Amino acid sequence: MDEKGYIVSSLSFLLMIPAILLVFIIFTVNNIGTEPSSIAIQSKNVFYEVNDLKNNIPRISKKVINEISMQVIDRGAVNDSREVVKEKLQLKINQILAKSEFNDGLRINCTVLSVETGDDPFIIQINSTIHVSKNTVVHEENISQNISIEGLPDCLPFIVCSEFGKPEIIEDKIYYNSYLFEFLNNKNISNSEVYINATSPFLIKKCPYHPYTVHGNLLNLKNCIENGYYHESNDGACYLCRLEGKNTCPHYGIETFIIPQCMKNSTFIMAPCSIDHVLFNKTSFYGMGIDYYQNNLYYYKIFLDNGHRLKYGINH
């Protein structure tokens, strides 16, 4: 072979490496001198297809988790949410890959390995392996992707109240009507009536107030409550465990406020604690009332135990 031509083609080959799947292309290239453009197109296609799949997994995962959560709201908790998400996600990916047409002989598969709560409780981690093969050449790649749970529905309140009725969903809020009161009253908890017509957020939103002690400024607390934010929590269940109907779990989780209906007077000093996982618990804890807002007609209150007062910087 002409030495100069050899060097030039080696160089162009090196330049192409970042844009191609490594091992795969080395074996496919037979005649780099005469067909560089068609090889470039082919490798671009492989690169594109694999990246397209990679970019799509988070979007498909979020859609799948959203669907499962909505099913839980209608039909009740699942036993093993990680397995349910994993199976449904695998099915969806298989369907998408079956519909895709790749260049002759090219095969792309994706195996979902696991679905887990991230170290950050607002993240769900999806681990998978992508397999690419053409003829006898195989390329495998393990990927780990983070899905934000923001914007997904909170199904736990519906599971908790299911014995008494289905709370209403209006825009991004849950309206409990009498069902949460009935749930609490059934456990003989006094002052449960403050939760008649209570509300809580329907969609997960991460609270932007950091550190959490700035909630001690009641304007921040009011804004947090009105926006329906969620907070990181050692005791509150993570998103995946909520799908199983758990209010607490071993993972680092999330919590939100359950908001009693506004009151004409401020006579309630103590009532069941307004933190979701505490209120939904089998044994109940009481909290002291905090008037986070009042106007001429109404008092707006939540009730917090000492631990949560400390967490949110409330000393009133």
CB of 313 to Zn ion, least distance (A): 11
Tokens of 185: 């009253």
Tokens of 124: 């769900």
- Full DSSP string of 164-212: T---EEETTEEE-TTHHHHHHHTTT-TTGGGGTT-EEESB--B---SSG
Number of residues that bind Zn ion (CB under 5 A): 8
- 280 contacts Zn ion (rule: CB under 5 A): no
Sheet holding 173-175, edge to edge: 168-170, 173-175, 199-201
Q: 160 with 278: CB under 8 angstroms?
A: no
Q: Which is nearer to Zn ion, 134 or 251 (CB)?
A: 251
Which residues sit opposite 146 in a β-bridge?
125
- 108 contacts Zn ion (rule: CB under 5 A): no
- 249 contacts Zn ion (rule: CB under 5 A): yes
x-or-dash string of contact with Zn ion, 196-235, rule CB under 5 A: -----------x-x--------------x----x------
Which residues sit opposite 127 in a β-bridge?
114, 144
x-or-dash string of contact with Zn ion, 152-191, rule CB under 5 A: ----------------------------------------
* Residue keyed to tokens 């895709």: 100
Task: Tell me: cis bond preceding 211? Omega within 30 of 0 counts.
Answer: yes
Pick the binder of Zn ion from 241, 259, 273, 279 (CB under 5 A).
241
CB of 204 to Zn ion, least distance (A): 13
CB of 146 to Zn ion, least distance (A): 16
Pick the binder of Zn ion from 62, 88, 134, 251 (CB under 5 A).
251
**Which residues lie near Zn ion (CB under 5 A)?**
207, 209, 224, 229, 238, 241, 249, 251
